[in-house]
């Protein structure tokens, strides 16, 4: 094959770029502006990212591997990649083991009837072919490469089971049989294939190395915008706007869609107008730009859009998303076919337009559904009787229709096309607002997060702050867990919270896929939330940095990160935001923290701008050294901490039955002396201390008891649940209860072997008239009936302030409880809560 002649063919290829159809592929190649989309091996055992299609061909194709299948969605750059490879082959850059490369756009073969031989098929190749070289092809088929584009749009079946395959190159047969025979190797056996298709179930028979074309990544989009706009500053403004408003959509990776966006942005910037904020606005501006270029009067433009809307309605339901000339005629839309420019602006023509077999389809599904929505709103007599009917008719066939309807309700978003078509039908708009309001309210009635997120996406598309506040009232059940957020969901949720001016609780419980980009989007929403629930989540370092920023800039008062794998490094990042924020409560149990994080926590506690007053560190292996560091912080005049927890709220019966294994913070008596000093230093504001399941023992309890008798100790609630205490610590604790400086109102000593002797000492101390204790828990402390008798006498004495008493799981039976039951009936008893089982 003459490569020079092929290059000349490529360079002289005529055609024009269009707003919807994209940039002419060969122009990109010729002007050296081609940016290869991201592509990767789709096979499970490969993770290779290829730099180009030429790289794929050179590294994959061999005697054993004869086919490469390039799979990508519409607009992902398949055709351009194929043309770039053909250009590179002709220039001597890639695929040089092939002497002949034949390029076929299979959808162009749909209209070819009659019988063909291999030679006459090759003459249909897009580029010049010398029939005299046919003998060489037949002798060395391994040197031949067939490039087949739009395989998914070929209307004839290619599965070998439906054909009598041909092996004779000179035998005339149907075009579909020839193509199938080539693909299945009965004709020109040994030839190699590079085929491109959209993802489809109908081509499973195609065996070969599959390459997935992923489109543009974020850096590639930035490079594309840099090429489109000569001014780097303008390019950056346009790219940033695209990423902020549209980059989270799947079609945002499409090179063709990037071309459409850049075309619209250029028009907006040249006119000195603001850039679009939603997909509705970008597509309405694209439509308006195309209609304006046709120089039609208002009536003609309206008729054109109504006609295209009827075609769109048909294509949405058609399995192939296409429309034949016969269907066009049956819809009474023959005028649509003339002049040709009317078609080419919105539709793609496959085949000869003069042929009855040609097929028409829209350049993009986005524009197809927008035309359907616009035509519905323009004329009340077409398409459907109301919004509900329209959506029901096309249910399961459309993806963006409801989105466009919500967006078009906003007058500023529909204004560009209204200025060309005339004002939309007022009855339709009233019906549309009623539909959006009622359907949104219904979606928010329940606790289904998918319904909530769907509502948020519609309201985000509508861009009406007032309407958001009308729909999302106090009765709306927002605050359910919104875990599993995609980027579009993050954008919509963030918009809603900003419109409302704040949120009581942003609940992302069990979010396992909150990316750095998603967290970045949610910074304003997090900052406007009183409480952020991120328990049982997975957060990367980048996400934690964005969370820290949200806390630093926002009004959040409570953050729950329970059972989220943070680790010391991520906590260090988080602390950068905690030193100067409004956070009052930090819940971080079981976050895989060690003593290494305590220095960072101490720096937060001692910061004069920190508001932190509650800290839960349960189930983190901080150890004595870690707590000692925190104790130094507790002595700082700037420390505002009032509650420090090393405990876990859990099911008592599960624990006692041994069905739930609980970890602790590995504290011993070694750190209790430092804690005691902190409590009585005169600076500590600590009111609540929980030390559940730490082996502090009697010595540790005695250290704490010394602090509790000190005048400046403010501790009111102490939990020593399962801390290996015995009756030996009870004299010290009893002394605390008798002390004039005791401020304890809540004491939990459950699951410790205090025995009757220890409990009786506590009971006697409680007889002191001004003992402040109101709640005492002695669950499973090995108590006997004599203790229950003493507590009965105490409650009847009138000197006790106890309002809550737990003596559950002590083996005394009903006989032991009788004294307590009698006490409850006594008017002197103040008890309100008795836990006996």
Which tens digit of pLDDT belongs to each residue from 219-238? Answer: 999 999 999 999 999 999 99
- In the three-class reduction of DSSP (H, G, I as helix; E, B as strand; rest coil), residue 816 is classed as helix
Alpha carbon distance 651, 177 (integer Å): 71
Q: pLDDT band at residue 340, thresholds of 50, 70 and 90? A: confident
User: Are 206 and 241 found together in one domain?
Assistant: no
User: Are 387 and 322 found together in one domain?
Assistant: yes
Domain span holding position 257: 218-275
What one-character-per-residue DSSP string does 129-171 give? --GGGHHHHHH-GGGEEEEEE-GGG--S---GGGS-----TTS
Q: pLDDT band at residue 672, thresholds of 50, 70 and 90? A: very high
User: Are 257 and 339 found together in one domain?
Assistant: no
- In the three-class reduction of DSSP (H, G, I as helix; E, B as strand; rest coil), residue 469 is classed as helix
pLDDT at 479 over 90: no
Q: pLDDT band at residue 664, thresholds of 50, 70 and 90? A: low
Mean pLDDT of 47-68: 85
Mean pLDDT of 303-317: 92
pLDDT at 660 over 50: no
Mean pLDDT of 162-186: 91
- Torsion of Cα atoms, 815 then 819 then 825 then 830, to 10°: -130
Q: pLDDT band at residue 659, thresholds of 50, 70 and 90? A: very low
Q: pLDDT band at residue 663, thresholds of 50, 70 and 90? A: very low
For the segment 271-309, what is each residue's pLDDT rounded down to a tens digit?
Answer: 999 999 999 999 999 999 999 999 999 999 999 999 999
pLDDT at 64 over 90: no
What one-character-per-residue DSSP string does 738-762 give? H-TT----EEE--SSB-HHHHHHHH
The domain boundary residue, chosen from 443, 461, 492: 443
pLDDT at 650 over 60: no
Q: What is the pLDDT of residue 42?
A: 63
Mean pLDDT of 425-453: 95
CA angle 668, 674, 677 (to 5 degrees): 140
Tell me, yes or no, whether 153 lies in a domain: yes
Q: What is the pLDDT of residue 657?
A: 36
Please indicate whether residue 12 or residue 327 has the higher confidence score (pLDDT): 327
Alpha carbon distance 329, 346 (integer Å): 18
Q: What is the pLDDT of residue 651?
A: 40
Strands 38-41 vs 49-50: parallel, antiparallel or unpaired: antiparallel
**Contact yes or no for 779/751 (Cβ under 8 A):** yes
- In the three-class reduction of DSSP (H, G, I as helix; E, B as strand; rest coil), residue 204 is classed as coil
Tell me, yes or no, whether 718 lies in a domain: no
* Mean model confidence pLDDT for the chain: 90
Q: pLDDT band at residue 45, thresholds of 50, 70 and 90? A: very low
Tell me, yes or no, whether 488 lies in a domain: no
User: Are 46 and 193 found together in one domain?
Assistant: yes
Tell me, yes or no, whether 807 lies in a domain: no
Q: pLDDT band at residue 701, thresholds of 50, 70 and 90? A: very high
Token duo for residue 830: 């103040």
Token duo for residue 243: 């990423």
Q: pLDDT band at residue 652, thresholds of 50, 70 and 90? A: very low
For the segment 382-428, what is each residue's pLDDT rounded down to a tens digit?
Answer: 778 999 999 999 999 999 999 999 999 999 999 999 999 999 999 99
User: Are 41 and 135 found together in one domain?
Assistant: yes
Tell me, yes or no, whether 331 lies in a domain: yes
For the segment 576-628, what is each residue's pLDDT rounded down to a tens digit?
Answer: 999 999 999 999 999 999 999 999 999 999 999 999 999 999 999 999 999 99
Q: What is the pLDDT of residue 15?
A: 66
CA distances from 96 to 80, 100, 128, 680, 755 (A): 20, 9, 19, 84, 90
User: Are 138 and 261 found together in one domain?
Assistant: no
- Torsion of Cα atoms, 717 then 723 then 729 then 730, to 10°: 50
User: Are 211 and 240 found together in one domain?
Assistant: no
Q: What is the pLDDT of residue 23?
A: 81
Q: pLDDT band at residue 6, thresholds of 50, 70 and 90? A: confident
Radius of gyration of the chain (CA): 37
Sheet of 503-507: strand order equals: 503-507, 529-533, 558-560, 585-587, 614-616, 643-645, 688-690, 717-719, 746-748, 775-777, 804-806, 833-835
Q: What is the pLDDT of residue 661?
A: 26
User: Are 350 and 231 found together in one domain?
Assistant: no
pLDDT at 665 over 90: no
User: Are 227 and 209 found together in one domain?
Assistant: no
- In the three-class reduction of DSSP (H, G, I as helix; E, B as strand; rest coil), residue 534 is classed as coil
Q: What is the pLDDT of residue 836?
A: 75
Strands (E), 298-341: 323-324
pTM of this structure = 0.87
Alpha carbon distance 612, 599 (integer Å): 15
User: Are 189 and 261 found together in one domain?
Assistant: no
Mean pLDDT of 759-783: 96
Mean pLDDT of 166-188: 92
Q: What is the pLDDT of residue 43?
A: 59
| CATH code for the domain of 82 | 3.40.50.300
pLDDT at 12 over 90: no
Mean pLDDT of 457-463: 97
Beta carbons within 10 angstroms of residue 530's beta carbon: 15
Mean pLDDT of 746-750: 98
Burial 543-571 (b: 16+ CB within 10 A, else e): bbbbbbbbbbbbebbbbbbbbbebbbebb
User: Are 321 and 266 found together in one domain?
Assistant: no
User: Are 263 and 287 found together in one domain?
Assistant: no
pLDDT at 1 over 80: no
Mean pLDDT of 532-537: 96
Tell me, yes or no, whether 499 lies in a domain: no
Total number of domains constituting the chain: 3
Q: pLDDT band at residue 158, thresholds of 50, 70 and 90? A: confident
pLDDT at 662 over 80: no
With the C-alpha atoms ordered 389, 392, 393, 397, is the resulting torsion angle positive or negative?
positive
Q: pLDDT band at residue 352, thresholds of 50, 70 and 90? A: confident
Token duo for residue 824: 């409850």
Peptide bond into 339 cis (omega under 30): yes
Tell me, yes or no, whether 419 lies in a domain: yes
Span of 146-150, 330-334, 364-368, 463-467 with lowest mean pLDDT: 330-334
Tell me, yes or no, whether 734 lies in a domain: no
pLDDT at 695 over 80: yes
Q: What is the pLDDT of residue 804?
A: 97
Q: What is the pLDDT of residue 205?
A: 73
Mean pLDDT of 666-688: 94
For the segment 93-138, what is each residue's pLDDT rounded down to a tens digit?
Answer: 999 999 999 999 998 888 788 899 999 888 888 777 777 888 888 9
Q: pLDDT band at residue 14, thresholds of 50, 70 and 90? A: low
């Amino acid at each position: 094959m003459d490569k020079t002649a092929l290059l000349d063919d490529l360079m002289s290829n005529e055609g024009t770029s269009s707003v919807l159809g994209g940039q002419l592929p060969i122009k990109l190649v010729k002007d050296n502006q081609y940016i290869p989309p991201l592509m990767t091996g789709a096979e499970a055992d490969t993770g290779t990212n290829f730099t180009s299609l030429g790289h794929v061909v050179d590294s994959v194709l061999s005697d054993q591997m004869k086919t490469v299948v390039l799979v990508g969605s519409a607009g992902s750059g398949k055709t351009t990649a194929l043309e770039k490879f053909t250009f590179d082959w002709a220039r001597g850059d890639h695929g040089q083991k092939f002497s002949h490369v034949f390029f076929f756009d299979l959808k162009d073969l749909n209209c070819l009837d009659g019988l063909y031989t291999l030679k006459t098929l090759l003459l249909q190749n897009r580029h010049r072919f010398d029939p005299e070289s046919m003998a060489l092809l037949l002798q060395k088929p391994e040197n031949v490469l067939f490039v087949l584009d739009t395989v998914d749009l070929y209307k004839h079946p290619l599965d070998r089971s439906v054909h009598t395959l041909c092996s004779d190159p000179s035998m005339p047969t149907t075009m579909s049989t020839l193509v199938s025979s080539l693909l299945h190797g009965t004709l020109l056996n040994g030839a190699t294939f590079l085929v491109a298709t959209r993802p489809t179930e109908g081509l499973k028979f195609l065996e070969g190395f599959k390459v997935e074309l992923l489109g543009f990544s974020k850096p590639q989009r930035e490079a594309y915008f840099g090429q489109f706009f000569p001014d780097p500053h303008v390019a950056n403004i346009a790219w940033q706007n695209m990423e902020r408003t549209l980059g989270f959509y799947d079609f945002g990776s499409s090179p063709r869609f990037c071309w459409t966006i850049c075309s619209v942005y250029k028009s907006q910037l040249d006119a000195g107008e603001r850039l679009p904020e939603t997909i509705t606005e970008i597509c309405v501006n694209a439509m308006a730009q195309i209609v304006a270029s046709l120089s039609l009067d208002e009536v003609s433009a309206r008729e054109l859009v109504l006609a295209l809307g009827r075609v769109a309605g048909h294509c949405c339901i058609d399995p192939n998303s296409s429309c034949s000339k016969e269907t066009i005629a049956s819809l009474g839309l023959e005028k649509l076919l003339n002049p040709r420019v009317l078609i080419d602006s919105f539709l793609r023509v496959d085949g000869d337009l003069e042929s009855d077999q040609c097929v028409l389809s829209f350049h993009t599904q986005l524009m197809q559904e927008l035309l359907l929505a616009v035509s519905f709103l323009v004329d009340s007599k077409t398409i459907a009787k109301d919004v509900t009917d329209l959506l029901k008719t096309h249910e399961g066939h459309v993806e963006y229709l409801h989105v466009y309807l919500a967006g078009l309700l906003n007058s500023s978003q529909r204004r560009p096309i209204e200025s060309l078509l005339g004002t939309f039908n007022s009855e339709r708009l009233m019906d549309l607002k009623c539909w959006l309001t009622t359907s949104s309210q219904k979606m928010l009635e329940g606790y289904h997060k998918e319904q909530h997120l769907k509502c948020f996406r519609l309201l985000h598309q509508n861009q009406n702050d007032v309407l958001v506040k009308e729909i999302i009232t106090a009765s709306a059940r927002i605050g359910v867990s919104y875990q599993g957020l995609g980027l579009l969901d993050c954008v919509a949720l963030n918009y809603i919270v900003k419109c409302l001016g704040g949120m009581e609780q942003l609940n992302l419980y069990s979010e396992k896929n909150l990316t750095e980009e998603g967290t970045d989007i949610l910074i304003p929403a997090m900052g406007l939330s009183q409480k952020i629930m991120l328990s049982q989540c997975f957060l990367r370092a980048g996400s934690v940095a964005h969370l820290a920023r949200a806390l630093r800039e926002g009004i959040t008062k409570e953050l729950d990160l329970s059972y989220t794998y943070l680790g010391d490094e991520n906590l260090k990042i988080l602390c950068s935001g905690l030193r100067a924020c409004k956070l009052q409560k930090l819940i971080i149990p079981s976050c895989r923290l060690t003593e290494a994080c305590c220095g960072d926590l101490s720096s937060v506690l001692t910061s004069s701008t920190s508001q932190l007053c509650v800290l839960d560190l349960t189930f983190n292996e901080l150890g004595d050294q870690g707590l000692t560091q925190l104790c130094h912080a507790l002595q700082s005049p700037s420390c505002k901490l009032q509650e420090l927890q090393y405990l876990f709220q859990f099911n008592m019966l599960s624990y006692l039955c041994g069905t739930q294994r609980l970890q602790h913070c590995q504290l011993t008596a070694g750190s209790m002396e430092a804690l005691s000093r902190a409590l009585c230093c005169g600076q500590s504001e600590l009111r609540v201390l929980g030390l559940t399941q730490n082996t502090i023992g009697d010595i540790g309890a005695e250290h704490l008891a010394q602090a509790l008798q000190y005048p400046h100790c403010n501790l009111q609630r102490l939990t020593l649940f399962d801390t290996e205490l015995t009756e030996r610590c009870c004299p010290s604790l009893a002394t605390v209860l008798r002390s004039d400086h005791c401020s304890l109102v809540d004491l939990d000593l459950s699951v410790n072997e205090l025995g009757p002797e220890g409990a009786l000492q506590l009971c006697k101390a409680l007889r002191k008239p001004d003992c402040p204790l109101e709640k005492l828990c002695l669950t499973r402390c090995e108590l006997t009936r004599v203790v229950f008798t003493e507590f009965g006498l105490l409650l009847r004495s009138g000197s006790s302030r106890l309002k809550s008493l737990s003596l559950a799981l002590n083996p005394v039976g009903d006989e032991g409880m009788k004294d307590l039951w009698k006490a409850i009936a006594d008017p002197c008893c103040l008890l309100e809560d008795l836990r006996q089982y």
